A and B are shown apart, each in its own frame.
Chain A
């Protein structure tokens, strides 16, 4: 899986091929020509739309585009965190863990009970950081528990079965998990409380009050705040939460990257991904490695769930479905089995989904059409995804 990230795959043309040759090669494939035509058409539509908007007297401002990109990055970070789980499991087991979206959901949902408890007990207001930490921990723990159970009950007994069989159990487990949550916790949507998490009052002199002549500032509200920012001469109103989500996602991916590349268990994971049998002959406990993979993916998904719920507030048993499918698409776009690919795919998808309706001037009802159309386009040009490796035939 991740092993090939450092050596980019070469599907079209080897080294030393000139650009002209590459283009000619590209044009020889009618499919890619069709893809090119579509791309050109899309660009043309965008130009048409932009000029149309300008002619109508309300041109698309750069500020607006930047804001939409930021929204997209935040949403994309969530997709990326979920996509990492798909990619990890796929890398090792070559199976689509369809129930991963429910792992994400369980993190957000169980996290709700933690944050609700914190709200009731007042901890959320007296020590917000601790309360948030507890929430995230509980969410991650719940997600990990569900994932380990999943692996133990639904996947492990089927490891030698035909490829389609674990896919069906995964789908079954996904439906069952959704329904168990629905039946246990009721059909009503739960809502995360509004959290104001102020940080660094010394640095950000925001929301200040003058008490007894002294100015006391609360600092920047990382979750619910919304501030005017001057950037390159542009006035932008921004919420820090979008950046928090983005940076946390990058941070977690970095940790994951470190674990996979630098630790012993990571090495074992790569070995199992490469060849399960040989790895077990080398004394690697394959079961343990697979469980750790599930744990890693689930922890990320659980954290993503809580983050997602913190700024989208609503949680319900069905909340995992749409992000799950998008994240899986992202993993495929990035090249499934590849960690940076999943991260890139998630962000790319989030931004595209957010920006495309604006640029193309079409209904955002069709944004999923764009997402999946994009997937097909990417796969036309790079059948194994953007960062994807050319897998050995055995795996394919």
Chain B
């Protein structure tokens, strides 16, 4: 009846739970509410611990039937609950606070006894544990699809609750309903008109969207339907018509499309709706929680069915038809990305900016690590060089003031003496070149080293650059610990067209586009390089250096180029970073940046550009957005690195290796013919 694995797994889970409890996690997360006034984050954590243990132990006896699952699930959860109860008993019996210092300010007992006395609290905890175990056991006995729907929608609802403050103002309920309505109508019409060509379907979708746009625009302008809505109060009825026409078109396009786009659209719709509900209720209360749960559950219930249908429709279409659909979807995705900052608000946009910077760096490092297999641990050096180049060239400095220290020049004379001061647009190519040169200079001595030696040398190089910028000896150029301040923001000067058109790309919003452009360029260059002769040489080196050399590849040259191109991208990232922060400090360029970039490309999937993007979102974006959990952010980061690597050593989105070999296969006979 009771499996021995239950005790083992249960005690593992209990050990983790106890360890976490001793960090005072329950006390710290108790103030953070997921469901306003009812469920705190610490309760969510407790539920995850108990149910996690239950699920783990119960899944081991899956073939033995529901009773065994229930029993083992309950036992597994009970072990964890008992472990936590034991910690509370110990906490009350002896003073643990000298060793476990966090318990001083965040004791466990008051949280886990739910405000009861110790004894009744423990009984309550144990009862809850048993309950959680039973639920887990029961969950495991229902069909796996239903289980997935329940767990996923619970998780997503909890994350909406967690991010409440940041995402609440993205859109309103009328917004969401309007979007869903228009998208859905376009979708349904397209399904019913499958016999027509995709252009006609698109036209129908666009038309329906336009009509709805007009109607909604009239209502919104007349009544209070769109109050507080960004979408519905867009300036002018024309823009509304365009927006809704595009949404309608998207609806009809999505009706027959690939898996990814279809799923993505459904996710966006789900999130729009749940944010709308949140916005309408103005806080994560029970009504909002319940509604959002329903939204997600419906979404996950519908998703597999709809997606399967949509992709089969897509597959049966002739090729030109598919292309129309694909291109339109891509256009919409691009447009959504372009207008996203408007809805996301300054904070989330600034997070996207940071993620974007890391994507640029990641694409660069990917060339060295992913393509060529050079293990670089000091990538931050090139990032720093780019930033410092832009910093010194765009501000009055020793270099731009003809060798005179700016501090020795009277403020009024600075414009006349410091004639070398450049704009961002003049300086960034220099930054890229400087970084590339540094890559070459470092590369020449170290690239013949074995992989792991290269790692430590580059790590050392990163530290060398940081210490040089920090040191007093180079203070006249790099500013020492004070860094470089008052770096001008990039300016787009179109005053020759209209005297008012002088735009400073200073805010999180418009630097977003600069970074987006940087990503487009780097991704484009990296992608293109990857399929050139040089790119193949890199891949060959990664696969086997000796064979590559035997094939006539100039190892040094290929490695140096890979190193330099990667460094150049980092330089570009650094250049944008410097003018974005409007100031540079040496302490921004620590080893942690290098590690972050390396981790994100490996987690994303070495050698894959979409992987870099996903990795950056997970490793840079998530920790930024989860500032609430500040204390546990880095811990989660470390654990995440381990867990992802254990679960998927090849990364989340590995590069399509198969396709490459297919190419080779199909290319060989042709060569044979020639």
Contacts and interface: CB of A to CB of B under 8 A. Distances in A.
Interface of A: 31, 34-35, 90, 94, 96, 113, 116, 153-154, 157-158, 161-169, 171-180, 183-188, 325, 328-329, 332, 336, 362-363, 365-366, 368-369, 371-373, 375-376, 379-380, 383-385, 391, 393, 396
Nearest to A332: B456
Contacts of A96: 452, 455-456
Contact of B638 (A116, A161, A162, A179): A179
* List of 5 A-B pairs having minimum Cβ-Cβ separation, nearest first: A172-B641, A186-B101, A372-B460, A176-B638, A175-B638
Per DSSP, are chain B's interface residues mostly helix, strand or loop, or mixed?
Answer: helix
Interface of B: 19, 22-25, 98-102, 104, 369, 375, 444-446, 448-453, 455-457, 459-461, 463-464, 467-468, 470-473, 546, 591, 595, 598-599, 602-603, 606, 631-632, 634-635, 637-642, 645-646, 649-650
A162 B657 CA distance: 15
Per DSSP, are chain A's interface residues mostly helix, strand or loop, or mixed?
Answer: helix
A325 B462 CA distance: 12
B138 to A, nearest CB: 30
Given A158-B645, A369-B464, A185 B100 contact: yes
Nearest to A110: B99
A193 to B, nearest CB: 14
Contact of A365 (B369, B472, B591, B650): B472
Nearest to B468: A369
B642 A173 contact: yes
A178 B100 CA distance: 15
B460 A329 contact: yes
Given A164-B602, A372-B464, A376-B457, A391 B646 contact: no
Contacts of B452: 90, 94, 96, 332, 336
A362 B635 contact: no
A332 B24 CA distance: 40
A183 B444 CA distance: 43
Contacts of B459: 325
B460 A184 contact: no
Given A96-B455, A161-B649, A379 B467 contact: no
A271 B638 CA distance: 33
Given A164-B606, A185-B99, A176 B639 contact: yes
5 contacts: A163-B451, A168-B602, A332-B456, A366-B467, A369-B463
B23 A180 contact: yes
A391 B591 CA distance: 29
Contact of B102 (A35, A186, A329, A383): A186
A362 B468 CA distance: 12
A376 B446 CA distance: 7
Contacts of B650: 162
A383 B461 CA distance: 17
Contact of B467 (A183, A369, A384): A369
Contacts of A184: 19, 22-23, 100, 102
Contacts of A162: 606, 649-650
Given A96-B456, A169-B641, A332-B456, 8 more contacts: A164-B369, A172-B599, A183-B631, A184-B100, A185-B99, A336-B453, A363-B473, A365-B470
A344 B34 CA distance: 56
Nearest to A113: B99
A64 B191 CA distance: 87
B602 A371 contact: no
A171 B464 contact: no
A34 B445 CA distance: 10
A116 B101 CA distance: 15
Contacts of B467: 365-366, 368-369
A165 B472 contact: no
B460 A371 contact: yes
B23 A165 contact: no
A254 B415 CA distance: 67
> Which one of A161, A184, A393 has the greatest number of beta carbons of chain B within 10 Å?
A184
Contact of B471 (A116, A173, A365): A365
> Which one of B25, B456, B473, B591 has the greatest number of beta carbons of chain A within 10 Å?
B456
A165 B602 contact: yes
A94 B645 CA distance: 18
